[in-house]
Every structure is written in structure tokens, then in C-alpha cells.
Amino acid sequence: MSGPGNTGQQYTGKHRQPSGPGAKAPAWGGRAKPGNITLAAQLMVIAKEPVPGRVKTRLTPAYTPAEAAELAEAALADTLAAVGSVAVARRILALAGTPGRWLPPGFDVIAQRGGGLDERLAWALSDARATNPDPLVFIGMDTPQVTPALLVQAVEPLVAGTADATFGMAEDGGFWLLGLREIDPALVLGVPMSRSDTGALALERLHQAGLRVSMLPELADVDTPGDAERIAAATPGSRFAAHVRTLGPRVARPLAAASLAAGEQAFSPA
């Protein structure tokens, strides 16, 4: 998940607290109303602004870059809607880019920063922890089929203390969700991303830390036109499915090596 908002800073495993005369912690614009809080936890979405040519690049050339960005926006909107339906203390969007019409109210927006994806995830965890130490679950924008029930399943063991981490493997070998009872950026820093063994390596890191891990169902990411059609068929009422239907069926053609090299970075292989 590269793109705008990447400052090039390197995360070293220790959070840099705000300093200086005008420094202050991020505002809590995403805090749920007190009467609605049922889970003392945070839900965070890691996303890129859906800009043509910068998101869902593996959907091309079956879809044009503009169409791929439209599908990415629909997937992101579905993901944010699912998160927004869960009553938690705080909802966060860690964004590379600028918020758009797809962002609903009730979310704190923090900028992604760092170099590789593991660094950006580590920074996002630290920035969230700086103002709220509650358990945190984060997901990407590639699984529009995620439901509020799945998110609750990921959050509840952390709040109850029956698990130290929750984890969802992706079908392609990556992972679509990670939850931590105690926010520790070091658990993601240095994990190789965008590989067929990313999920296994991330899970191994949790086990090596001695954490009790509660597993969630395996989900598929939207990476290819075939993924898009399959996920749309499984979620006919979603925004994503509606957009896939509007654009019509597509036949994927092999990507050139150069296109693969320029592909996007995500939790799972891009």
C-alpha cells in the first residue's frame, strides 16, 4: 500500500511522542458516543486513496485504471461501513492520500508514514496507541465482504482477555486482519510483506512472542478480475458487487513483467 502520505521516515520500534511548543496528540474525532460504546477497543482500516493507476493495479488491463479505482473505492466504502456498524471506542482510517466522499463520519484519519508496508503498519499502530491504549484490530481495504459480525468476533476476545491476538489469513497467503490486546508495533515491524508466506510469517511472529492467538475465517482479497467477480457473487448486496455488475464481466489478460513489478503493495502478494 504505497502512495501519497508516505514521508519516508523509518520506524525503529520506539514511538516518537509529539514534541515542541505546538505539538499535540491527534484529535479523537472517531470516538463513539458514550451511550453507544459496547466494546473498549479500536478498529482501524489501512487504506490508499482510490486514485487511478495507484490502487488495484492487478485488475488491469481487464479493467481500466479508472474502473479499477472505482472498484477500490467501492471496496473501501463497504469496509468502512462494516467498521462503522460496530460499537467500539474509536474508529481510525490510516490513509495514504486524501479523504474523499467515500469517508463516512465517525473516523479519525491519520496519515500513513514510513518506508515499507511493515513500517507504515508499525507507525499506524504507534499513532493509535499514543492517544488510546485500548485493544486494536486493523484490516485492509481489500476484503469488502467483511461483516460487522466478523469484526466483533475479532474484537471480543481481546476485550475479554481470552486472547492476546486475533488473526485472519487471506487465501493467497497474506493476512486480512490482525488484532492485538496490547498494541505492540514490533509485532509487525520487519515482517516481509507482499509475499505468499506473509500471513504465515506474521502468525509465526505472534506465536514467537508467546501470544494466545484466536483465528478468524480465511477470506479472499480483491487482487484479480477473477477475485472481483467471485467476491461480488458472494456479497450481492454490497456496493462492491453493485459496481462489478455495472461494469460488466471482464476477461483477465496476462500482465507484463513490468506491470507486476509496478504492482501495489498490500498485506498479501500484490
110 falls in which pLDDT band (50, 70, 90)?
A: very high
**Chain centroid to CA 100:** 17
Cell numbers given for 256: 507484463
Secondary structure (3-state) at 135? coil
| pTM of the entire predicted model | 0.82
Instruction: Report percent pLDDT > 70 for the chain.
Output: 79
Q: Evaluate whether 15 touches 131 at the Cβ level (below 8 Å).
A: no
pLDDT value at 264 more than 90? no
Q: What share of the chain is helix, strand, coil (3-state, %, to 5)?
A: 35, 15, 50
Q: What is the pLDDT of residue 38?
A: 78
Query: Hey, which bits of the chain come out as E strands?
Result: 39-48, 88-96, 108-111, 136-139, 165-170, 175-180, 213-219
Give me the sign of the Cα torsion angle 193, 111, 154, 190: positive
pLDDT at 270 over 80: no
The pLDDT value given to residue 267: 56
